[in-house]
Structure 1
Amino acid sequence: MTRANAARWRPIQEWAEARGAEFNQSGDGQGFLIEHPKALPGPLRIEWGVSQRSYLPGSELRMRCEMGLNRDLQLMVLCRALMENLERAVFEAYTDTLKTRVDTDTPEEMRWLVMFPKFNNAASQIVRQRFGVVGVTKELTGAWIDGELSEALAQASQDLLPEGHPFVLMSMRGNLYLRTEMSEPDLPKVQALVRLLECAAREAHRVSGRLSDDGAWPTTTSVAWTPSTRPGDVA
């Protein structure tokens, strides 16, 4: 199986190595990891394998672009259908009178839907219809989503991210993160998602420059919860 997967993933390996990245299969041979420390706009890590999120069934592609942004720059865009599903899950989990807060075991993706305001005024009608957008302030969220990233998302919605396909893109802890369901790794799709992540990273870098060292909001946001990271997670 390991050899068969290696042959199937050969185009992705060749693409990664042509970019100066290192390609490795996971220990069980059921997934792979690409490390590109000299990537632009920031060091890039790409993983494909068994999903680490319950809302992404089966296998997922997950990526991290290290940017060194202001750590308070917390922004997220996700598939609208997924946003609605996660909102229902949060509501059901925390309407119990014995659980009055969102605990540390809940992923940021779900906590942020409770914590941060939604941005519903994206300039692109397609973006408004197909994606949900939240962030620490509406002003920063709007500055991030409108422009180059809006165009990239609208284009991706046509084929790369069809309606209802689970997808999350986040700026947090100074980095950009992307997760999406992917049953089988496909080079053109991986390349397109990398370009989308890089676009979001460039736009986040531009927006990050608007923040002062002291931040723009109270520190009672996700700083109140220390994020946990499982071994092998891109986070």
Structure 2
Amino acid sequence: MVVKQVKHWLVTRANAARWRPIQEWAEARGADFSQVRDGQGFLIEQPKALPGPLRIEWGEPQRSYMPGAELRMRCEMRLHSDLQLMVLCRTLMEELERAVFEAYTDTLKTRVDTDTPEEMRWLVMFPKLTSMASQLVRQRYGVVGVTKDLAHDWLDGELSTALAQASQDLLPEGHPFVLMSMRGNLYLRTQMDEPDLPKVQAFVRLLETAAREAHRAANKMSDGGAWPTTTSIAWTPSVRPDAS
């Protein structure tokens, strides 16, 4: 027991030095920084962030498709619950589509399990956006949404520019990355083996851009009439192993 406590103390102390730049940056923003249990990651919470309360986590992945440690972010926006949109690395999209197709066609299954992550279910449920102004964004990312119009409104403009810029260095080709608008919030997941302050800052800026653009798209939809609903969308996968 004593050995375990000493080991935990040593790990916590080592991480405190290792993550000092990130902690100082977080505290300068008015956020709380803490190490998670067993010192295997950290948590940053900033209730008064703009454009909405921000939560940042780094540590063990929560998704099986993340091959290493994961950076997770959530920006609370209180958007319409049916503003369901997603942009993800195209390589990852193709991998998830194959997984969904294999799960659906398995002789032991007649449907995709309801506990399947939204990332996979949305590839089945929602239409893909194929018309994008940026050729680079079209080549590197896949985009789906409850409607193509909403997805286009979200992506068109600052978010497209930010994604194109991220493709230059922050998100090399094939790097696992998911950005989603759901349950009224914005979420970001990406692989990050070691937390790096400049990269964390860059991903925060990307999330903030996506949040502002989601708010703009939501306002445009509200001005235009009734929101689309997902309650009647049936489970009828249209993906194939070679889907693009």
Please, what TM-score do these two structures have when normalized by structure 2?
A: 0.88
For these two proteins, the number of residue pairs brought into alignment is 222
Name the counterpart of 2:228: 216
Give the one of 45, 48, 52 matched to 2:55.
45
Name the counterpart of 1:90: 100
Q: 1:218 to 1:160 in 2, by over 3 A?
A: closer
Name the counterpart of 2:147: 137
Matched residue of 1:65: which SS?
A: strand
CA distance in 1: counterparts of 2:97 and 2:219, whole angstroms = 31
Aligned-residue CA RMSD in angstroms?
1.3
Q: Does residue 10 of the first structure (1) align with residue 20 of the second (2)? A: yes
> What residue identity is the alignment partner of 1:20?
G
Please, what TM-score do these two structures have when normalized by structure 1?
A: 0.91
Q: 1:32 to 1:218 in 2, by over 3 A?
A: closer
Give the one of 146, 169, 179 matched to 1:169.
179
> What residue identity is the alignment partner of 2:90?
R
Structure 1 gaps of 5+ residues are 223-235
Higher helix fraction (1 or 2): 2
Q: CA deviation at 1:214?
A: 5.0
CA distance in 1: counterparts of 2:217 and 2:34, whole angstroms = 34
The C-alpha deviation readout for 1:94-122, integer Å capped at 9, x for no partner, is: 11244232222100000000000000111
Matched residue of 2:39: which SS?
A: coil
CA distance in 2: counterparts of 1:210 and 1:101, whole angstroms = 35
> What residue identity is the alignment partner of 1:119?
L
Name the counterpart of 2:6: none
Name the counterpart of 1:200: 210
CA distance in 1: counterparts of 2:81 and 2:230, whole angstroms = 14
Identity of aligned residues (%): 80
Q: CA deviation at 1:218?
A: 4.9
Q: 1:131 to 1:44 in 2, by over 3 A?
A: same
Please tell me whether the aligned partners of residues 46 and 61 of structure 1 are also in contact (alpha carbons under 8 angstroms): yes
Structure 2 gaps of 5+ residues are 1-10, 235-244
Q: CA deviation at 1:219?
A: 2.0
Please tell me whether the aligned partners of residues 129 and 143 of structure 2 are also in contact (alpha carbons under 8 angstroms): yes
Please tell me whether the aligned partners of residues 70 and 211 of structure 1 are also in contact (alpha carbons under 8 angstroms): no
